[in-house]
Chain A
């Protein structure tokens, strides 16, 4: 059967591209290897009565332009912000982050009086960086080596935005993009626990420690989102992260799109350097002159494209592209709400993200373990119980806990990711939480343990890297995924990339998907409105 466009992979980026193409009038097919859509943005009932957001688990980055253009609220998307969070230290103290300015100030002063002002300066500095980067997200990164007018004008656009910052701020921007999160925070904040609370955002999903240069940028990557216009806010997608991709799928189907689940791609069909369709594992073949891959760059070109179709330099670039899974995940069904020894009775911050840390060095040591092929002995965890805000995810009175764990290596130095090691990994995490919540372990009804290897196997993310590739400068902007191929096009005519391996990278953002759609439509001579703000 012949389509105008085929999208491989029904993750949030694939569905975003598909949604835009269908709305532009293209007869579009999405194929998906799993029996369900969503990729890494899914809601799954793995224990009867409980819904797990078993990969991505919180929402902030999804571009509002995409939400509007694809009309996602109409198809059921509802994001509920959680307005606070906390870090507990081993001495029984805690820091309660809050989006309420006065409450946050009180809490900063309680920990260290000097930090109230320091935090204000920190927040302003980060906000300035957010404002600088935001307009770049929904644009295609220019190729700095090209003399093509569009590349030059895009370069000038970025150059002008940079120039307009003024000398001081230009320097601050260069420093911010290259510094470690630890040194960045040291400039503003004194209290170890406050620094530790913030620093986590600089390393989530990343094979770097908080002392590594380049991690301040990763913080930005977790800060540049918004919920209902509130920049930097995070929230739960009601019904789990799957509600996002479900809304995208419905929006796409409403625009005439077609989705086929249950059979993955075997190979892209390429003739004379042009893509002409896809061959599925079940033997089906579908044809289109435009094929867009939502898979990461290694799966797309090393596993599913014949080597002879690609230039050697490109293959070298793809093989060199770094994944380095560094994150694990526990999804836990709870019989009730656990208590936290240090939390005051009725503490609202338990509804947000919880961490258990003394200082940034603890995260750095966790990173040192990962470098040696071990999961962290005292890992960084991002622990949330979304059912306090979204009761739809568990039976009445019961709860669901999502525990993101940094760091866990894709390959263990000793042994494999087998059941015994998965269990030992889970024990390390649960023991750490239990030191702060004595009843937590006893409340566990069911748990799903996911190593980077499991994430790779189920979701298809190479080495379990949640961003479809590291967010280091050598893999950002015009370098992502391969220099010269950062404009969503591949060496094969008609074959495009729309996954997080492309600019601006991972997180449930949708920007790569939207940008890829724009490039496809440009090549087809069609104009596209990605949304008013784009």
Chain B
């Protein structure tokens, strides 16, 4: 089949750029079509939604030669977790500001999680195997997972199989008790999703986080020097250096399908049609299949799956302007991950309200910050702020959330409230409107066992191949899901290359 291009990538988020770069590097003629005037998706703009990008997978960084294009990582970030007035510091497996006994328990727990996540990590870097009928490669893949879990040894394997579907609440209660240390882990386990610390499945999301936090070692993040913009610019350079074309302000209206039910190209909103045998979509599963492809090309069961995919985003981004920093926060602190949640109990309470489409009285917050011309700007991620808020999102609701967030921050870091001079709130509904992000959900869909691995986005479509031949999903809605690993894009491109456009 001939066409204008060998591959079209819809959306220039980091996964779209990774996919384009890999395809181009393999000699494909690639065009990336981005609806917005600039590339980067959630990593784009002056105050990008993903304020703390971490963990572009090392395999991708080396495969695309990102360091050649200027990607450099900063020193590993610490986590500073605030309780009422007290503060603990987490540096890898080292916890400071707690009793020696607690520090030892934390170190042991941290090492354990690192080992378990290591056993899962291999599964993240490749297409998930099918449950069955997937052929020899898939069986080997399954066997490899089995072996890597067995390789942990009897004691670890037993413990891992016990906790893997369990909740972070029970895990922390058993190992370190509740408090700012547990809160930091619980935030890692829950942020971005619609689960509280007590929800079964949050140990798995925590292990995922551990497995996907790149160069700083398990569970410890490093962000690139230059932040999100550096990730976007190096990926763009890598893609363009291999010959990929990137067109911004080019929103795709629909995916073109021929009479034999094969994706053959895209139509832009301005009417232009582009053709290619491989179409990779960085959009969410629902947007890709319902809006761009159209349900008429899906069977009823897949439509039902997609309709019921859990995608209710629960994180609001609040930018807070400060004239000066309070006593409890220093300039150096702002380079780290700051958790303001106090304990797991409070995080769970914040989740309670969101279950009913209401705003929490005391949101749990993760933040980082930067210096501005006039003072400081804190980028706060406040949970749980449901996309499907009762009565919808409005200015008063946003202000209510911002005030509640500031109050919760004040309780943990006394003095911070009085320094705040202004705020700007981006609700999940705003993210949906701005980025086409279904439900405003960071990860394009909940990271839960029933939406992971060979079930992401749904069983039968989990190997990046969508139900229509020639169409691939390369965004976070595909395995292994969210965060800034680039793996969905990398794996999807690999699958498309393997199929060679002749699937």
Give chain B interface residues in 332-350, CB to chain A under 8 Å. Answer: 348
CB distance from A143 to the nearest CB of B (A): 8
Q: Name the CB-closest residue of B to A187.
A: B308
> Within 8 Å of chain A (Cβ to Cβ): is B498?
no
CB distance from B75 to the nearest CB of A (A): 37
A104 to B207, alpha carbons, bound, how many Å? 45
Residue in A170, A171, A183, A320 whose Cβ sees the most chain B Cβ within 10 Å: A171
Given known contacts A174-B450, A473-B166, is B158 in contact with A483 (CB within 8 Å)? Answer: yes
Which one, A207-215, A233-241, A245-253, A280-288, is touching chain B?
A207-215
Of A166, A187, A364, A473, which one neighbours B165 at CB under 8 angstroms? A473
Residue in A166, A361, A368 whose Cβ sees the most chain B Cβ within 10 Å: A368
CB distance from A199 to the nearest CB of B (A): 14
A479 to B161, alpha carbons, bound, how many Å? 8
Which one, B130-138, B322-330, B428-436, is touching chain A?
B130-138
**Complex contact A163–B450 (CB within 8 A):** no
Contacts of B157 in A (CB 8 A): 144-145
Contacts of B355 in A (CB 8 A): 211, 361, 364
Of B133, B198, B450, which one neighbours A212 at CB under 8 angstroms? B198
**Complex contact A186–B132 (CB within 8 A):** no
Given known contacts A178-B449, A213-B195, A474-B165, is B200 in contact with A208 (CB within 8 Å)? Answer: yes
> Within 8 Å of chain B (Cβ to Cβ): is A419?
no
Contacts of B130 in A (CB 8 A): 167
Q: Name the CB-closest residue of B to A178.
A: B449
Interface string of B342-364 (1 = CB under 8 A from A): 00000010001001100000000
**Complex contact B455–A322 (CB within 8 A):** no
> Within 8 Å of chain B (Cβ to Cβ): is A478?
yes
**Complex contact A183–B308 (CB within 8 A):** yes
Of B158, B301, B455, which one neighbours A175 at CB under 8 angstroms? B455
CB distance from A412 to the nearest CB of B (A): 16
Interface size on B, residues (CB 8 A): 38
Of B166, B448, B458, which one neighbours A474 at CB under 8 angstroms? B166
Give chain A interface residues in 162-208, CB to chain B under 8 Å. Answer: 163, 166-168, 170-172, 174-175, 178-179, 183, 186-187, 208
Interface size on A, residues (CB 8 A): 36
A322 to B174, alpha carbons, bound, how many Å? 11
**Complex contact A473–B459 (CB within 8 A):** no
**Complex contact B159–A168 (CB within 8 A):** no
> Within 8 Å of chain B (Cβ to Cβ): is A376?
no
> Within 8 Å of chain A (Cβ to Cβ): is B162?
yes
> Within 8 Å of chain B (Cβ to Cβ): is A398?
no
**Complex contact B162–A483 (CB within 8 A):** yes
CB distance from B28 to the nearest CB of A (A): 30
> Within 8 Å of chain A (Cβ to Cβ): is B46?
no
Contacts of B200 in A (CB 8 A): 178, 208, 212-214, 472-473
Lowest 8 CB-CB distances: which A-B pairs, in order?
A171-B459, A483-B158, A473-B165, A175-B450, A474-B166, A170-B131, A214-B200, A178-B449
Q: Taking beta carbons and an 8 Å cutoff, which residues of B are in contact with A?
A: 130-133, 150, 154-155, 157-159, 161-163, 165-166, 170, 174, 195, 198-201, 301, 304, 308, 310, 348, 352, 355-356, 448-450, 454-455, 458-460
Q: What are 23 of the A-B contact pairs (CB < 8 Å)?
A: A145-B157, A168-B460, A170-B132, A171-B455, A172-B459, A174-B449, A174-B455, A178-B200, A178-B449, A178-B450, A179-B450, A183-B310, A213-B200, A213-B201, A361-B355, A364-B355, A365-B356, A368-B352, A472-B165, A478-B161, A479-B161, A483-B161, A484-B158
Q: Taking beta carbons and an 8 Å cutoff, which residues of A are in contact with B?
A: 144-145, 163, 166-168, 170-172, 174-175, 178-179, 183, 186-187, 208, 211-214, 313, 320, 322, 361, 364-365, 368, 371, 472-474, 478-479, 483-484
